[in-house]
Chains A and B, each alone.
Chain A
Amino acid sequence: MGGLSTLDLVVIIAYLAGITAFGLYVSRRVKDTEGFFMGNRRFGKSLMVAQALTTGTRADYAIGVAGASYEIGMAGIWYQWMYIFSTPFFWLLSPIFRRMRYTTTADFFEERFSKSLGIGYSFFALYLFMLWQGTIIKGAALTIAGITGVSETGIVWGVTALFVLFGVAGGLVATVNTDFIQGIFIIILSFMLIPFGLNAIGGFSGLHARLDSQMFSLTAGTEELSLFHVTMLVISGLVGIVAQPHHMAVAGSGKTEMNCRIGWCYGNFIKRLCTIGWALTGLIAAVLFVGAYDHKSRELVFGAMIKQLLPPGLIGLMIAAIIGTVIASCAAFMVSGSALFTRNLYKKYLKPAGEDAHYLLVGRIVSAALTIGSLLFALYMPSVIQATLIFVKTVALVGVPMWAGIVWARANSSGAWASLIGGAAVFLTAWLLRWTEAWQMLASLLVSFALVIIVSLMTRPEPADRLQRFFTLLHTPVGEEGNLEHAELKVAAD
């Protein structure tokens, strides 16, 4: 198939069968939604590090950074290193997530502001799930297309069919549990390309001899990534980091606050370390495939590297790991999105007293709709990097009211809505006026912050009991739950 050896095909089939069996075995221990989403908040330090590392490390990140570095040099690293300056803040933010004791970020918006914001955030999260699924499928398709020569569109349909089939067959929940293994494989195999690549081009000295010195510059001075652009990516990354729907679980599922701090912060530092490897892979590709790919096709180089450098067997393992990540991640997002709509929106506000069979049907319809949406993203988004930029810009706008809600007690629902709508309007206007991405981000963030302050000051504050409830949680460290009972609050499982 597409130039793959028999050994590669055997490895792919064996790997996918193996992870499914492992996932089915592990998933028997998950008894309820709290266990499913938050691991019953019992994770230790090492598991928290592993969780933060693997839930945030996917093949499309490596593909995007390697592709960018192939074209613009080491500066391409900033497409993922935009979060490096945010990472120390994870140390400060993770105990906040843990102390909130919420299950989803929609809970935060509902409890701190209003039901309408909780609903609004739920729809936003559904959009993000579709965008992420689309990006993952796109990244996998680009890589496998680069290795096998099969058309990218065909692979998009193929891998989508595969993860939907897994879901229908009942392997959906099971594969969620195998994300850890696949994340490790992606990291190992990403670094595995470097020695093979350096060997092929004559080591680091060969790399320097054949590339312009500008390609080794970390100080993004290229037309694509100016210093201003990188600065705005860093700021947007920090503002938006709190509003990503999966971070409530990634940052808040540790047994203790220290576990959460170490897990989220240092799990991500390991990922930043991996990013150096992806950028270096792109530089090696720039020597191996001089002029072979242009701006539009540059993300194919990761797959081309695998095909050219790795021996039979390892190529199959890499493809299997990528497909496995697509299945696990997309299945997880499909389940989470479907559950979010069915439980937090449909059951809560539209049909509270339905039968289980009815909710199951609704869940399946929503799963199908999410899959169609993600397919459209995968088919029509120009590149993985473009999808990353769309994500960073939109999630930052949602991050503004979340930061305001945590830091400033006077922030209210009206201010939050004004911030979201105003920021989005400015962002769209700037986009229509063809401002650069950096200016789009700066203008929309400034307006968002200004609106949440001005409108909150001009309108009534949130009720005192709502604020009391929220800030009592934030000032009650894990281990002092007795204080919550004293304050007449109780933490429910779901």
Chain B
Amino acid sequence: MIEEKKTETRKISDIAPPIPRSKLEEEGHSLLIVDLLRLAKTFSYRRYRLDVIGFLLAWLWVALLLALGYWITRIGA
């Protein structure tokens, strides 16, 4: 659970809160899903490096599993 230390916090826009500066986010740890609706403005490979590489690799695994499933049904045919 998250608690506030003080009742007063910074006021932000109702629709899109400003992104707090984060060194790690700027170096590749930004999250595609969280920024989905403003990717047109924020996207760069450097900023979303971990998400992009891992996501593409994961789809490669999906392709490999589908190929394995298909190959197993062909053995002995």
The answer to whether B75 touches A204, judged by C-beta atoms less than 8 angstroms apart, is yes
**8 Å CB contacts to A: which residues of B1-28?**
1-6, 9-17, 19-25
The answer to whether A276 touches B69, judged by C-beta atoms less than 8 angstroms apart, is yes
**8 Å CB contacts to B: which residues of A259-298?**
261, 265-266, 269, 272-273, 276, 279-280
Interchain nearest-CB distance for A471 vs B (Å): 4
The answer to whether B25 touches A475, judged by C-beta atoms less than 8 angstroms apart, is yes
In the bound assembly, the distance between CA atoms of A102 and B1 in angstroms comes to 5
The answer to whether A464 touches B12, judged by C-beta atoms less than 8 angstroms apart, is yes
For A103, the chain B residues whose CB sits under 8 A away are: 1
Q: A74-B69, A408-B37, A464-B13 are in contact. Are A472 and B62 (CB under 8 A)?
A: no
**8 Å CB contacts to B: which residues of A88-105?**
88-93, 95-96, 99, 101-103
In the bound assembly, the distance between CA atoms of A87 and B66 in angstroms comes to 13
In the bound assembly, the distance between CA atoms of A489 and B4 in angstroms comes to 5
The answer to whether A273 touches B65, judged by C-beta atoms less than 8 angstroms apart, is yes
Find A107's partner among B1, B32, B62 (CB 8 Å cutoff): B1
Interchain nearest-CB distance for A17 vs B (Å): 38
Chain B CB within 8 A of A357 CB: no
For A273, the chain B residues whose CB sits under 8 A away are: 65, 68
The answer to whether B55 touches A92, judged by C-beta atoms less than 8 angstroms apart, is yes
Category for how many chain A residues contact B: 35 or more
For A494, the chain B residues whose CB sits under 8 A away are: 1
The answer to whether A203 touches B55, judged by C-beta atoms less than 8 angstroms apart, is no
In the bound assembly, the distance between CA atoms of A408 and B29 in angstroms comes to 20
Q: A216-B73, A280-B72, A489-B2 are in contact. Are A269 and B34 (CB under 8 A)?
A: no
The answer to whether A475 touches B19, judged by C-beta atoms less than 8 angstroms apart, is yes
Chain B CB within 8 A of A355 CB: no
Interchain nearest-CB distance for A97 vs B (Å): 11
For B61, the chain A residues whose CB sits under 8 A away are: 87-88, 266, 269
Find B76's partner among A81, A90, A207, A468 (CB 8 Å cutoff): A207
Chain A CB within 8 A of B36 CB: yes
Q: Which residue among A77, A474, A475, A477 has the maximum number of chain B CB atoms within 10 Å of its CB?
A: A475
The answer to whether A95 touches B31, judged by C-beta atoms less than 8 angstroms apart, is yes
Interface stretch (choices A23-31, A158-166, A479-487) = A479-487
The answer to whether A473 touches B73, judged by C-beta atoms less than 8 angstroms apart, is no
For A406, the chain B residues whose CB sits under 8 A away are: 33-34
Interchain nearest-CB distance for B60 vs A (Å): 9
In the complex, 24 of the A-B residue pairs with CB atoms within 8 angstroms, ordered by the A residue number, are A88-B55, A89-B33, A89-B55, A90-B58, A91-B51, A92-B32, A95-B29, A206-B76, A218-B66, A218-B70, A265-B54, A407-B33, A408-B37, A410-B14, A465-B4, A468-B17, A469-B9, A474-B31, A474-B34, A475-B19, A487-B9, A488-B9, A489-B4, A491-B2
Q: 12 extra interchain contacts, Cβ-Cβ under 8 A, other than A261-B54, A461-B15, A490-B4?
A: A81-B69, A87-B61, A87-B62, A92-B51, A92-B54, A95-B31, A102-B1, A103-B1, A218-B66, A407-B36, A467-B14, A488-B4
